[in-house]
Structure 1
Amino acid sequence: MNGMNGEHKTYIYNYACTKDEIELCALEMRSLFGKDSKTNILESSVKIDPSRSPFIRERIDVIFEGEHIEEIYEKVKNLQIAEMTFKVILVQNSNHHEVEKVRHKDRRKIEREIGLLIQGEPDLLNPEMIYGIMDFNGRWVFGEYNKNMAVWLQHQKKPHSYSTSLSTRVARSVANIAVPNPEGIKAIDPCCGIGTVVVEALSMGINIVASDINYLIIPGVRENIEHFGYETEVSHKDVREITGDYDVAIIDMPYNLCSVITAEEQLEMLQNTRTFANKVVIVTIEPIDHIITSAGFDIVDRCIVKKGASFAREIIVCEKSQKSE
Structure 2
Amino acid sequence: MKQLTPTGEFLYTYAYHQDEKDLCFLEMRAFFGADSEEKVVKSTRGIDPSRSPFIKERIEVLFEGADVADILEQAAQVNMGSATFKVIFPKINGLAFEDTVDYAEKRDIERQIGFVITGKADVHNPAVTFGLMPFGGRWYFGTYLQSESVWFKHQQKPREYSTALSTKVARAIANIAVPEPAGVKAIDPCCGIGTVLVEALSMGIDIVGRDINPLVVDGSRENIAHFGLTGRVDLGPIADIRQQYDVAIIDMPYNLYTHATPDEQQEILSHALPFAEKLLVVTIESIDHMIEEAGFTVTDRCIAKKGLFLREILVCERTIKPAILVEELIEV
TM-score, shorter chain, exceeding 0.5 = yes
Counterpart position of 1:72? 71
With the length of structure 1 as denominator, give the TM-score of the two structures. Answer: 0.94
1:238 aligns with 2:232: no
Q: Cα offset for 1:103?
A: 3.7
Residue 302 (structure 1) shift: 0.7
How many Å separate the matches in 2 of 1:80 and 1:4? Answer: 9
Cα distance in 2, alignment partners of residues 227 and 87 from structure 1:
37
Contact persistence 2:158–2:226 (CA under 8 A)? yes
Task: Quote the residue 1:85 is aligned against.
Answer: 84
Counterpart residue number, 1:111? 110
2:210 equivalent to 1:190: no
Q: Is the 8 A contact 1:155 1:168 kept in 2?
A: yes
Aligned to 1:38: 37
Quote the offset at 1:289 in angstroms.
Answer: 0.6
Deviation at 1:323, TM superposition (A): 6.4
Partner of 2:320: 322
Secondary structure, aligned partner of 1:319: strand
Query: CA offsets per residue over residues 290-314 of structure 1, 9 Å max, x none?
Result: 1111011111111111222x32100
CA contact (8 A) 1:299 1:316 kept: yes
Measured against aligned partners, the alpha-carbon deviations of 1:229-274 in whole angstroms (never above 9, x if no partner) come to 1011111111122221111110000011111212111111111111
Gaps of 5+ in 2: 324-332
Normalised by the size of structure 2, how large is the TM-score?
0.92
8 Å Cα contact 2:99-2:135 kept in structure 1: no
AA aligned to 2:259 is V
TM-superposed deviation, 1:136: 1.9
**CA offsets 1:148-182 (integer angstroms, 9 cap, x no match):** 11110000011111110111110000000000011
Q: Distance in 2 between matches of 1:224 and 1:168?
A: 12
Counting aligned pairs with the same residue, the percent is 51
CA contact (8 A) 1:89 1:130 kept: yes
**8 Å contact 1:14–1:59 — kept in the other structure?**
yes
**1:210 & 1:51 partners in 2: Cα distance?**
23
Number of paired residues?
322
| Contact 2:28–2:35, Cα closer than 8 Å, also in 1 | yes
Q: Which residue of the partner structure matches residue 311 of structure 1?
A: 309
Aligned-partner Cα distance in 2 for 1:208–1:3: 40
Query: Is contact 2:37-2:94 (8 Å) kept?
Result: no
CA distance in 2, matches of 1:205, 1:218: 21
Describe the SS at the equivalent of 2:267. Answer: helix
Gaps of 5+ in 1: none
What CA distance in whole angstroms lies between the structure 1 residues aligned with 2:38 and 2:57? 15
Q: Is 1:212–1:238's contact at 8 Å kept on the other side of the alignment? A: yes
Which residue is 1:283 aligned to?
Answer: 282
* In structure 2, C-alpha distance between the alignment counterparts of 1:319 and 1:311, rounded to whole Å: 26
Deviates more, 1:61-70 or 1:282-291: 61-70
CA 1:324/1:194 → structure 2, altered by over 3 Å: closer, same or farther?
A: closer
**Structure 1 residue aligned with 2:14:** 15
Matching residue of 1:139 = 138
Query: How far is 1:322 from its partner?
Result: 3.5
